[in-house]
Chains A and B, each alone.
Chain A
Amino acid sequence: MRSSGETIAKGAFLFCAGASAVMTASVFLFMITLGLPLFRESDFFSVWTGRWSPHEGLYGVGAMISGTLWIALLATVLSLPLSLGTAFVITSLGGARLQKFLNAIIRFMTGIPTVIYGFVGIFLLVPLVRGGLGGAGMSVLAAGIVLAIMISPTMTLFFSDSLLAVDSTYVQAAKALGADRVQRLLYVMLPKALGGMTTGLVLALGRALGDTLIALMLAGNAIGAPESLLDPARTLTAHIALVKAADYDSLEFRSIFACGIALYLFTTVAVIAIRLLGRKNRKCHDPKCC
């Protein structure tokens, strides 16, 4: 039998869930509504693919979409092996003291403000890239490397948490069969933890897509689409940060809503990907499936 308290609680939580769903949807509608003048004045497709040249009346954010993807994907690709290795050491390969030390470092790293990474990048990495590889220094590469370091704690924590969440009886059974540490990690823990680890990967990618400051400080913010790792690039978030100072009624300002829509869609795709992977992972726990 249900108590009235339970009904009230259910109602309250339902309301909260509904409100946040409505809010998320209304943010999207809000961006479309505010961006409408831009889509009306200039061709819908030219907004996504055209050039950015406000004084000529061109408000394309295609180069920014490309810049965002270059930098975020590079950061994820660079961060993956780094985080994977760290997570392996923390969960099974390292000694107890090393594990404890690394864990503390990783947790500390999550607390370092982004701007600190940015400064280190601008004074150490940018001159290094410019001197060693040429180009302007401020580039996709510089931003990608620093971003990779910045997202690696998120990734590492997710990886190690999923690895540690694997049922210890499996690990012990493998141990009893004579599997050494590496074998236990690769053949028992890793396959079981893959679902959670993918979630961590996608979340880290999401963080890289959404980061503003690193790209703003290190990628150079040029308005052309990058063609190589040494080219400068402007991300959608950096573009919003640079253009938000423009007059509210100008189409230039409206272009930030186009950027918002693009970022929103990227995030949506990432969330859907997590959901699909999660579902697949849950199915695998079913003995009939595996």
Chain B
Amino acid sequence: MLLIVFTFCLMASPCFGDALDAFEGQQGTIKIAGGTAHIPVMREAAKRIMMRYKDISITVAGGGSGVGIKQVGEGLVDIGNSGRKPKPEEIERYNLKMYQWAIDGVGLVVNPKNPVHSITKEQLKEIFSGKIDSWAALGGTDHAIIVYTRDEASGTRAVFWNKALDKGAISTKALFVPSNGAMKTAVANDPYAIGYVSVGHMDESVAPVALDGVTPTLETVKNGQYQIARGLYSNTKGEPEGLTRLFIDYLFTAEGQKIAADKGFIPVK
């Protein structure tokens, strides 16, 4: 009897079940696109699933929140990610089901060489509208401030614009970059840059800037001190089924939530 159990365990290895077991015997593809903040988590989850189960293939593309909602709505992808809650009309038109699996802050960043590490919200608005145009006014070097922003379809921009800029103007001289990754690269390479990026994407290549004394970090977003935050959503058209369902469920398992935490986001569970 023991032998039978043992043999069975070997066949269905690993013996002690984990979150990935749900994918046992499954095959097919999952196409994911949209929010660029989500990408590290999506990639890691996809990698773990595909390493174990060779018959499952998962593709992860970016494009931004607008693209995610649109493509899942049009049926081009199985999961459309967004860094903002889809609008009521989008939910209604595409019959979207939303799954918020993490919370993410959107923080100001500058180049690590920049001595300015703290500004007020008023100063922030004036920087982005172009009224303050030199770092000297903020205690930095006497050089023009180079403002980087995201395109209108970005969820990161939507949150930043609503909660940090209070829907204020953004200068026509501001430079546009198409993703969180591109923002980080741009700021890391430009000593006079200021931009905003998902807190999960922050690393030593950029320096966070405190807003009204609160530095955007995992801790301050988690304990609610840093207010410029949003949910990270994965959306499906209608009730998800099959592999897509399993993938969404996986994001909410202890393992999935740990991936989110490891990548710098705040798990919801």
| Minimal Cβ-Cβ distance residue in B for A246 | B153
Pair A246/B152 contact, Cβ less than 8 Å: yes
B178: which A residues are within 8 A, CB to CB? 216, 241-242
Pair A247/B175 contact, Cβ less than 8 Å: no
Given A241-B178, A245-B64, A55:B167 Cβ within 8 A: yes
Pair B67/A234 contact, Cβ less than 8 Å: no
| Minimal Cβ-Cβ distance residue in A for B174 | A222
User: In the complex, which residues 240-289 of chain A have their Cβ closer than 8 Å to any Cβ of chain B?
Assistant: 241-248, 252
Among B63, B144, B153, B185, max chain A CB count under 10 A is at B153
Pair A123/B189 contact, Cβ less than 8 Å: yes
Contact partner, A224, options B63, B152, B153, B172, Cβ 8 Å: B172
A137: which B residues are within 8 A, CB to CB? 146, 190
Pair B189/A127 contact, Cβ less than 8 Å: yes
Pair A130/B190 contact, Cβ less than 8 Å: yes
Given A243-B151, A245-B151, A222:B90 Cβ within 8 A: no
The contact size tier of chain A is: 20 to 34
Smallest beta-carbon distance A139→chain B, Å? 9
B177: which A residues are within 8 A, CB to CB? 221
The yes or no answer to B131 lying at the interface (CB within 8 A) is no
Contact partner, A252, options B152, B154, B185, Cβ 8 Å: B152
| Minimal Cβ-Cβ distance residue in B for A217 | B182
The yes or no answer to A54 lying at the interface (CB within 8 A) is yes
CA distance A223 to B144 in the complex (A): 18
Pair A242/B67 contact, Cβ less than 8 Å: no
B175: which A residues are within 8 A, CB to CB? 136, 138, 220-222, 232
The yes or no answer to A209 lying at the interface (CB within 8 A) is no
The yes or no answer to A126 lying at the interface (CB within 8 A) is yes
Given A54-B152, A126-B189, A127-B189, A247:B70 Cβ within 8 A: yes
Smallest beta-carbon distance B147→chain A, Å? 9
| Minimal Cβ-Cβ distance residue in A for B151 | A242
| Minimal Cβ-Cβ distance residue in B for A119 | B185
User: In the complex, which residues 105-132 of chain A have their Cβ closer than 8 Å to any Cβ of chain B?
Assistant: 122-123, 126-127, 130
B174: which A residues are within 8 A, CB to CB? 222-223
Among A135, A216, A221, A245, max chain B CB count under 10 A is at A245
The yes or no answer to B107 lying at the interface (CB within 8 A) is no
B152: which A residues are within 8 A, CB to CB? 54-55, 242-243, 246, 252
Contact partner, B90, options A221, A244, A247, Cβ 8 Å: A247
Number of A-B contacts (CB under 8 A): 74
Pair B176/A222 contact, Cβ less than 8 Å: yes
Pair A248/B189 contact, Cβ less than 8 Å: no
Contact partner, B153, options A127, A134, A245, Cβ 8 Å: A245
CA distance A62 to B66 in the complex (A): 24
Annotate A223-245 by CB proximity to B: 1 below 8 A, 0 otherwise: 11000000110100000011111
A223: which B residues are within 8 A, CB to CB? 172, 174, 176
A135: which B residues are within 8 A, CB to CB? 144
| Minimal Cβ-Cβ distance residue in A for B185 | A122
| Minimal Cβ-Cβ distance residue in A for B191 | A130
CA distance A232 to B186 in the complex (A): 14
Smallest beta-carbon distance A64→chain B, Å? 12
CA distance A135 to B172 in the complex (A): 14
Smallest beta-carbon distance B54→chain A, Å? 30
B171: which A residues are within 8 A, CB to CB? 224
Pair A245/B63 contact, Cβ less than 8 Å: yes
Pair B190/A136 contact, Cβ less than 8 Å: yes
Pair A245/B185 contact, Cβ less than 8 Å: no
Pair B153/A234 contact, Cβ less than 8 Å: no
B190: which A residues are within 8 A, CB to CB? 127, 130, 136-137
Among B90, B176, B192, max chain A CB count under 10 A is at B176
Smallest beta-carbon distance B184→chain A, Å? 13
CA distance A286 to B215 in the complex (A): 77
B189: which A residues are within 8 A, CB to CB? 122-123, 126-127
The yes or no answer to B173 lying at the interface (CB within 8 A) is yes
CA distance A224 to B173 in the complex (A): 6
CA distance A260 to B174 in the complex (A): 24
Among B67, B185, B189, max chain A CB count under 10 A is at B189
Smallest beta-carbon distance B160→chain A, Å? 14
| Minimal Cβ-Cβ distance residue in B for A238 | B176
CA distance A51 to B151 in the complex (A): 16
Smallest beta-carbon distance B130→chain A, Å? 10
CA distance A137 to B191 in the complex (A): 11
Residue contacts A-B, CB under 8 angstroms, 24 given: A51-B172, A55-B152, A122-B185, A123-B189, A126-B189, A127-B189, A127-B190, A130-B190, A135-B144, A137-B146, A138-B186, A220-B175, A221-B151, A221-B177, A231-B173, A232-B173, A232-B175, A242-B176, A243-B151, A245-B67, A245-B151, A245-B153, A246-B152, A247-B90
- Beyond A54-B152, A136-B173, list 12 extra A-B contacts (CB 8 Å): A127-B189, A130-B192, A135-B144, A136-B175, A137-B146, A216-B178, A222-B174, A223-B172, A231-B173, A242-B151, A245-B154, A252-B152
